[in-house]
Chains A and B, each alone.
Chain A
Amino acid sequence: MSNKRTKPFSIKYLPGFTPVALVCFVLLYAPIVTMVVYSFNSGQSVALFEDFSVAWYFAAAENELVQEAALRSLIIAAFASGIATVLATMAALGTTRTKNYPGRTLIYLMINQPLMVPEVVTAVALLIFFASIKVATGYSGLAYLILAHAAFCVPFAYLPIRARMEGMDRALEIAAADLYATPWKTFRRVTLPLVAPGIAAGAMLAFVISLDDVIITEFVKSAGQDTLPTYMLGQLRRAVTPEVNAISSALLAVTVILLTAFFLLSGRNSPVGK
């Protein structure tokens, strides 16, 4: 032990990187953990933790406005992600595993447009567009929100489906056609079962993205059409109310559960379609 260096030379070691990374994780999680902890506080503030209690969860759950907003969020997310997934699957069939064709770049650009345009710009655009339709038709139901959500969900559903399709052996579909399967039967019996995990992943991402949306919903919604996030934003004063704290924690739990499922579903692939 005469050698001063106690650890062997490590190729991957860079001085200071590990501490910064750990600090980073602490900083990322400290606020979230604090939020969750104080959602179980019986008192009103985050100043001091008085007593463990789930009272705020009950308060939130019993609040009719919260119930309505939650239900609305779920309805919108279900319809929007459903529509987006079906359309994204079709678009993926039309854009992958084929030689280039006129207009494909345009299709790519259109599909990925919501990822590139700042959300507030799209929100404003939809506000203007829907405002005139609302005036013209007199209809002001949930369809606007569902349409808007479905649109920005498409790229999130499209990316994992496309990735999965591109990984699929083209010869399998050719083999099916060779064995007397019509195009529709080929899709039903060969393509769909093989792409299913990608479709499930896409649907899940779309669902989460729709559930989380604030800006577009805030601009597009008519009076009394709050979703959970816009309701929470509306409740904000100088501080976050304990009730909103409880809702946030519950939503966080949903995210963690969905994400875990996603990780298990897609194996080792990261859920970022990058």
Chain B
Amino acid sequence: MTDTSTTNARQLSDLEVRAEKERVKRNWLLSMPAMILLLLGASGPLLIVLVYSFMTPGDYSGVIWTPTVKAWFQIFFTVDIFDDTVRLADAHLTIFGRSLRLSLLTTLLTLIFGLPTAYFIATRPGRQRTLWLFLITIPFWTNLLIRTFAILEVIRNEGLINNFLRWLGVIDEPIQILYTDTAVLIGMAYVYLPLMVLPLYAAIDRFDFRLVEAGYDLYANRWQVLRRVILPIVKPGIIAGSILVFVPSLGAYVTPRVLGGGKNMMIGNFIELQFGQGRNWPLGSSLSILLLLVVAVALLFYVRAANRGGSDE
């Protein structure tokens, strides 16, 4: 173990180099088919979207291969047809604002409901806990469309709520919930709630309740134990759940389409519009990339928060 031997040490023998190359080659070969599939069916096309976002829209659909940054400009600004003045694209900003607001509210709402639920499940004794967990996983794995339909039937004008209120005599005319932002919010909170509960449950399940005992032993009351002991320790779960809800909310398509109608679009619907009636593929592409970037920032924030929290991911 002398100094000279350690400096020689990095001269890997030919054999070791060969074995190492074999290992890397084998691992790459095994992963290659999946990589190719994902390159064709997921990652590769994203690059095309990036390219398209810098092209000129075609007359009916598609693009003309003239590079331009107009689509990116269009996201935020419009040029007046009459006097060529540049103004903020209010319609777009409204949609972005709605997407952001509804996603944040959804995250908050699911957290408010999800935390007690996760805590409840995690504190059930043995077999009971499996049952409650099972009950939360059924909606999780049930088709999102089906769950959206279910909530639609509850909030529409002739739906459960309105019928019930009318039967009670509280109202004469139905309350218009469907096709409002509120409907989208209710729907997203409903469909994404399990995404919040499960990581929270995982975090609370690992929680060592002797710490709570220690808290009470040191004169904390229930509220203080929750705020000063439980919440800081399950924080990684809270962050994970929030990201898991926030990211799909921001890109939501089905729920706002079914519950928001044509008017209360979110960014996902707006993107689709550009590839349908809007016929502006470059704008749709640049919007997609923008959405991707926002999500990437959220994920980065999550990774950093998780690392700082010393969590295992």
The answer to whether any beta carbons of A and B sit under 8 Å apart in the complex is yes
- Interface of chain B residues 211 through 247 with chain A (CB within 8 A): 212-213, 216, 222, 226, 240, 247
Of all chain A residues, the one with the shortest Cβ separation from B244 is A274
CB distance from B293 to the nearest CB of A (A): 10
* Residue of B31, B138, B295 touching A90 (CB-CB under 8 A): B31
Whether the pair B130, A154 counts as a contact (CB closer than 8 A) is no
Indicate if B94 sits at the interface (CB-CB under 8 A).
Answer: no
A: number of interface residues (CB 8 Å): 98
CB distance from A243 to the nearest CB of B (A): 12
Whether the pair A118, B250 counts as a contact (CB closer than 8 A) is yes
Whether the pair B288, A147 counts as a contact (CB closer than 8 A) is no
CA distance A87 to B296 in the complex (A): 26
Complex contacts, A93 vs chain B, CB 8 Å: 30
Whether the pair A236, B34 counts as a contact (CB closer than 8 A) is no
CA distance A213 to B214 in the complex (A): 48
Of all chain B residues, the one with the shortest Cβ separation from A144 is B41
Whether the pair B160, A34 counts as a contact (CB closer than 8 A) is yes
Complex contacts, B262 vs chain A, CB 8 Å: none
CB distance from A72 to the nearest CB of B (A): 16
CB distance from B59 to the nearest CB of A (A): 15
Known: A110-B35, A128-B52. A91 touches B30 (CB 8 A): yes
Whether the pair A274, B240 counts as a contact (CB closer than 8 A) is yes
Q: How big is the B interface, by class? A: 35 or more
The stretch of B2-10, B65-73, B75-83, B267-275 that contacts the partner chain: B267-275
Whether the pair A120, B272 counts as a contact (CB closer than 8 A) is yes
CA distance A90 to B29 in the complex (A): 9
Counted as pairs of residues, one from A and one from B, with CB atoms less than 8 Å apart, the total is 285
Known: A91-B31, A233-B254. A21 touches B121 (CB 8 A): yes
CB distance from A122 to the nearest CB of B (A): 6
Complex contacts, A95 vs chain B, CB 8 Å: 27, 30-31
Main secondary structure of the interface of A (DSSP, over half): helix
Known: A45-B158, A255-B141. A116 touches B31 (CB 8 A): no
Indicate if B17 sits at the interface (CB-CB under 8 A).
Answer: no
Whether the pair A90, B40 counts as a contact (CB closer than 8 A) is no
Complex contacts, A123 vs chain B, CB 8 Å: 253
CA distance A13 to B223 in the complex (A): 11
* Residue of A29, A31, A111, A124 touching B288 (CB-CB under 8 A): A124
Whether the pair B212, A12 counts as a contact (CB closer than 8 A) is yes
Whether the pair B41, A119 counts as a contact (CB closer than 8 A) is no
Complex contacts, A148 vs chain B, CB 8 Å: 41
Complex contacts, A268 vs chain B, CB 8 Å: 130
CA distance A45 to B38 in the complex (A): 44
A-B residue pairs in contact (CB < 8 Å), sample of 23: A20-B117, A21-B116, A30-B154, A32-B139, A34-B153, A35-B149, A83-B37, A87-B34, A93-B30, A107-B35, A111-B38, A113-B38, A121-B251, A121-B288, A122-B45, A126-B45, A131-B62, A154-B34, A158-B34, A212-B145, A248-B143, A255-B138, A259-B141
